[in-house]
Amino acid sequence: MKKMEEYVRSIPDFPEEGIIFRDVTSVLQDADGLHLAIDEIQRRLEGLDFDVVVGPESRGFIFGVPVAYNLRKAFVPVRKKGKLPCETVEISYDLEYGSATVEMHKDAVRPGQKVVIIDDLIATGGTIEAITKLVEGLGGEVVKICFLMELAGLKGRERLSSYEVESVICYPGK
């Protein structure tokens, strides 16, 4: 069987020269790659006591839902502002160029629930940092954060240093 890294397509000089884009769609398009990705993320949760999986739109849904399903846990989506129909809590945060706002339902995480956050990629860590604040603002406890891929050169893990963070693949650059 191939290693996880072999399923990820690397595209040099995209979106700009000097950047190597790590394309998760090549993982999704291969049945064995997708299966391995879910298994590897799930393996990082073995023995962990938690109640809820939280995943940001959209690739956090792709990887978080099957893990939640397999482990019989609830799944909570975090979406871009204006996409959820019920009462929400929201947070705005800075991006490299501009800002973004994400939200989740106000009743999605209850006080005392233990939460795992799952996403495809950690770069600067800004989105996940914002999500931790939403979860904690609702009284939840973030017990682990898991990623399929990590771009270590962007130092996102440092931004999340007060949490247990794991990635399946760690690339040294940007």
- Smallest CA-to-CA distance from 95 within 145, 129, 47, 66 is with 129
Residue 59 annotated as catalytic: yes
Distance in angstroms (rounded) separating the CA atoms of residues 109 and 90: 13
Q: What are phi and psi of 109, to 5 degrees?
A: -125, 125
Residue 103 annotated as catalytic: no
Lookup: tokens for 48: 């962990």
Give yes or no for a contact between 75 and 55, defined as CB atoms under 8 angstroms apart: yes
Residue-level pLDDT at 1: 74
- Per-residue pLDDT in tens (0 to 9) along the chain, 174 residues: 799 999 999 999 998 888 889 999 999 999 999 999 999 999 999 999 999 999 999 999 999 999 999 999 999 999 999 999 999 999 999 887 789 999 999 999 999 999 999 999 999 999 999 999 999 999 999 999 999 999 999 999 999 999 999 999 999 987
Residue-level pLDDT at 34: 98
Per the residue annotation, which of 22, 44, 59, 157 is the catalytic one? 59
Per the residue annotation, which of 16, 17, 46, 96 is the catalytic one? 96
pTM: 0.96
User: What separation in angstroms does the CA of 74 have from each of 4, 14, 48, 113, 117?
Assistant: 26, 36, 15, 11, 12
